[in-house]
Amino acid sequence: MADLMEDPISGTTAAQGASKKAFPRKVRVVPESLKKFREIHEQAAAGGPPEKIAAQKAKGKLTARERIAYLVDEGSFQELGLLMETRCTDFGIKDKHIKGDGVITGFGTINGRHTAIFSEDFTQLGGSLGRTHADKISKLMDMAADARIPVIGILDSGGARIQEGVDSLDGYGEIFYRNTKYSGIVPQISVILGPCAGGAVYSPALTDFVFMVKGISNMFVTGPEVVKSATGEEVDFETLGGSMTHASKSGVCHFVANSEQDCFRQVKELMGFLPQNRFEKPPTQATKDPDDRKIALLEKLCEVDPRKPYRVNHIIWWLADDHKLLEVHHDFAKNIVIGFIRLGGQVVGVIANNPAHMAGALDINASDKAARFIRFLNSFNIPILTLVDVPGYWPGVAQEHGGIIRHGAKLLYAYSEATVPKVTLVLRKAYGGAYIAMSSKLMGGDINFSLPSAEIAVMGPRGAVEILYSRQIKEAKEEDREALRAKLASEYSGKFASPYQTASTGSIDEVIEPSHSRGRLISAFRMLIGKRRPGENERTGNIPL
C-alpha cells in the first residue's frame, strides 16, 4: 500500500508517487492577507510620488533603489525597516504614511562580500532626516559593527527635518556617535549624491572615504544664501561646496566621479582593497606579473638631476602588480601621492613624495593627507610602502602661521604609531626633518632601502656649501664661483649625503640595485607578513586630521 502524505494546510492526503493526472492542480486563490501584504510592500518600495521621481530623473540622478542596485551584486540586497514610519504627529507628516521615512537600509554583497548599505531617498520629504530615519541608520550601523562588515552610506538629503525639531538633531547625534564609535573597527564610506548641508556634513567627514559626483554633489555647513547674508559674499552652490571644491581645496572629498555609475564603479574598486574589519587582513589577489620583473625606469632615475621634477605616479605604476594604482585624494595636496597597490598579490598602501608638484616638499595639506591615510592603513592591517624624494618642508610665512609645525607633527605621530609592516625606499633625495618624517629607520621603519644615487643629508649639497664654505666662495673670482660651488657640492655629497655613509650607520638597511626594486619590496613585505596579527593592536580610530 502506498504511503500517504498529508497537506499541512488543507489536511487532504495523496498517495505518494501518484500521477499528476489523477490529482489535477487547482487554481490557487491568493489569501486576502497576502494580497494586502503585497500591496503595502509595492507601495512602500515605490518611493515618493511619480512627480518627485520624475524631478529626480530630470536632474540626472538615480533613485535610491536604483543606486543600491548599481552597487550590490544582483539580487543580494536584503532590506530592513521598509515599513517604518515617522513618529512625528505635527504638521500632517504622520497622516502621509510615508513608509521607510526617506531612507532605505539593509545588507547586500559587493563582489560576494557582505556590506551594510543605507540610501537616502530625496523623493520622500526631500530625504530629510527625522528620528525614525536616524534610528534606521543607527540600527544598521550597530548590526554592521556586530557582524564586522563595512558600512556604505549614500547621502541625498535636505538635512534635518524641521517639522521634527530637536528630535532630528538628536538623530544626527546618534549617527555621529556611531561613526566615531566604529571608526577603525569597520570601514565606513560616504557617497554624496545630492545636497548635504548643515550638521549632515559631519557624518561623512567622520567616515574613512568620501565620494562625490561632478554637477550633482554638494556639501556645505551654510548655503550660498546664508553666506551672502552673513558675510556679503556671493557664491553659487558648485563653487561653495561642489565636488572639485572639496576634492582640490578643502580635502573633504577623496574620490570624484563623472557620473553616478562611474562613482559606484570606483566604490567597488576601493572595496576590493579593504578588509571587512580590523580583525581581518585585506584580500589577496593572484597575479601573473612576475615578482622579479625588472624596472629600467629606476635605473634612469639614478641619472636624473635631483632638482628635475617627475611624476612619482610613474614609479608607483612600474612597481605595482599589473601597473595598477588606486590613487586617493588625487586633486588635493598633489605634492604627495597616496593610494592602494598590490605587490605580489598583497594589498599595500603607498605614500610617495611627488617632485612634479612643489618639488615634493611637505606642507600643511600634504602632512594632513598622508597622516590620516597612514592611520587608516594601520587601523585595517594594511602594510605601508613609503617612497621618498623630499627636499624638506615648504618654506614661507603662510606655512609657519598656518601651523606647519603642528600639522607636520601629525605625520610624525602617524608613522611612529603605526605597527603594520613599514618598508621605505629612498628614490632620490631625503633632506632634513622631512627625511625623518618619511618613515625613517628611527621612526619605526622595518626595512629601509635606498637607490645608489640617493642623497640623504641634513640639507641639500648646494645649500650646505653656501653655509660651510661661504667665505671661500666669496673670496673666489666671480667667474669661478659656480664651478667652485659645483666642486664643493660634489665633495659634500660624496662625504655627507651618500647612501653608503647612511647605510654604514644602520639608518639605511641596504642600498639596492634599482631594477630589482620590485622584487626586493615584495620579499620584504612577505617576510613581514606576520609582524602583527589582525585585531591584536590597541584600537585607534581614524580621527579626521
The one catalytic residue among 165, 199, 432, 541: 199
Q: Which amino acid is at 311?
A: R
DSSP code for 248:
I
The residues facing 159 across adjacent strands are: none
Is the distance from CB of 81 to CB of 119 less than 8 angstroms?
no
Is the distance from CB of 267 to CB of 211 less than 8 angstroms?
yes
Instruction: State the cell numbers at 375.
Output: 592611520
434 catalytic residue (yes or no)? yes
Determine the Cα–Cα distance for residues 224 and 237; give it in Å rounded to an integer: 6
Closest CA relative to residue 69, chosen from 261, 205, 202: 261
Q: What residue has cell string 650607520?
A: 505
DSSP code for 40:
H
Closest CA relative to residue 269, chosen from 204, 332, 189, 199: 189
Determine the Cα–Cα distance for residues 232 and 210; give it in Å rounded to an integer: 30
Instruction: State the cell numbers at 153.
Output: 552610506
Q: Name the helix (H) or strand (E) containing 481.
A: helix 481-496
Name 54's Cβ contacts closer than 8 Å, sequence gap at least 6.
none
403 catalytic residue (yes or no)? no
Q: Report helix, strand or coil for 497.
A: coil
Closest CA relative to residue 118, chosen from 85, 156, 148: 156
Determine the Cα–Cα distance for residues 186 and 297; give it in Å rounded to an integer: 38
The one catalytic residue among 126, 198, 242, 408: 198
199 catalytic residue (yes or no)? yes
The one catalytic residue among 434, 437, 464, 497: 434
Is the distance from CB of 263 to CB of 257 less than 8 angstroms?
yes
349 catalytic residue (yes or no)? no
The residues facing 151 across adjacent strands are: 116, 188
The one catalytic residue among 223, 433, 463, 541: 433
Q: How many CA atoms lie within 13 A of 130 on its CB side?
A: 24
- State the alpha helices, DSSP H only, in 148-252: 166-181, 202-206, 224-231, 237-241, 243-245
Instruction: Break the chain down into helix, strand, coil percent, rounded to 5.
Output: 45, 20, 40
Task: List, by residue number, the catalytic residues.
Answer: 198-199, 433-434
